[in-house]
């Protein structure tokens, strides 16, 4: 999957580089092009594609997640490459500021590895967990593949510079509401049955930087966006579940780095 996405990104990069070469150098002496969505219009629309790298920023519980000597992290995450696609709605505020809403679907899969066998020492019970019968964790018990499908709705304020020939730079920032359609937040089963539960409704903030390029019938915008979850997404295991899994995590917040390619 990751190799396929990397190939797609490489082909896309070559295609974009070819377009930009033609746009910036072969049209330098021509009049400025308007692009597909005239910047003088109050409202404009388009769509975009995104190549993503999602990970969890985790804060581990000092008792169940940091090992006996408090020096070893018992929970490890592995980021993966994924993709998304969305629509663009733009409201022009003035010559340098736009208000944008860019709803999208983000398809994500991540790995979490729990090396928490040493938590057997808490089998007699503590104020944070009930007594439990220790068990030997298999490879399947230790690895969780967490699949997420986010309905990502960012609302952004974009600030752009003046056009130079057929291009102009921009930066944008704003907030996101992200609904996880695969959260399993209401499932009765938990990690003891192999289900890592996360919250369904989430909030994040985003920042983006890029360059807009004008062609005869559309505007092409490659950019880089970072999205950082504000709330804790981890849902606690059931009270009777041994502290091998969610008890080892104080908080888990998604963070994503995206290459976006917009067409307007």
Average confidence (pLDDT) per 10 residues, the chain, 264 residues: 46 45 44 59 92 95 87 90 94 93 95 94 88 92 95 96 88 97 93 95 97 90 97 94 95 96 94
Q: What is the pLDDT of residue 192?
A: 92
CB proximity list for 94: less than 8 A, separation 6 or greater? none
Beta-strand runs (E) in the chain? 43-60, 75-78, 80-92, 97-101, 104-114, 143-160, 167-180, 201-214, 219-229, 249-263
Q: What is the pLDDT of residue 197?
A: 96
Q: What is the pLDDT of residue 30?
A: 45
Q: How far apart are CA 245 and CA 110, in angstroms?
A: 15
The rounded Cα 52 to chain-centroid distance in angstroms is: 6
Q: How far apart are CA 220 and CA 211, in angstroms?
A: 9
Structural domains in the chain, sorted by start = 2-263 (2.40.160.20)
């Amino acid at each position: 999957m990751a190799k396929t996405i990397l190939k797609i990104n490489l082909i896309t990069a070559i295609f974009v580089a070819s377009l930009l070469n033609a746009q910036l150098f072969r049209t330098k002496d021509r009049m400025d092009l308007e692009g597909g969505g005239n910047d003088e219009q109050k409202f404009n629309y388009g769509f975009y594609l995104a190549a993503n790298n999602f990970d969890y920023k985790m804060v581990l519980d000092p008792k169940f997640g940091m090992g006996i000597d408090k020096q070893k992290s018992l929970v490890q995450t592995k980021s993966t490459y994924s993709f998304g696609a969305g629509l663009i709605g733009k409201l022009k505020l003035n010559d340098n500021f736009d208000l944008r809403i860019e709803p999208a679907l983000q398809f994500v899969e991540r790995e979490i590895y729990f090396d928490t066998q040493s938590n057997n020492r808490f089998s007699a019970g503590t104020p944070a967990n009930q007594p439990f019968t220790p068990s030997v964790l298999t490879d399947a018990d230790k690895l969780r593949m967490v699949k997420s499908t986010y309905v990502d709705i960012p609302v952004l304020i974009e600030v752009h510079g003046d056009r130079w020939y057929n291009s102009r730079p921009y930066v944008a920032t704003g907030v996101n509401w992200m609904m996880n359609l695969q959260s399993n937040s209401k499932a009765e089963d938990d990690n003891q049955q192999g289900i890592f539960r996360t919250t369904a409704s989430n909030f994040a903030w985003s920042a983006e930087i890029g360059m807009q390029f004008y062609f005869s019938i559309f505007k092409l915008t490659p950019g880089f966006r970072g999205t950082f979850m504000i709330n804790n997404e981890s849902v606690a295991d059931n009270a009777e579940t041994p502290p091998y899994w969610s008890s080892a995590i104080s908080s888990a917040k998604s963070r994503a780095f995206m290459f976006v390619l917009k067409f307007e």
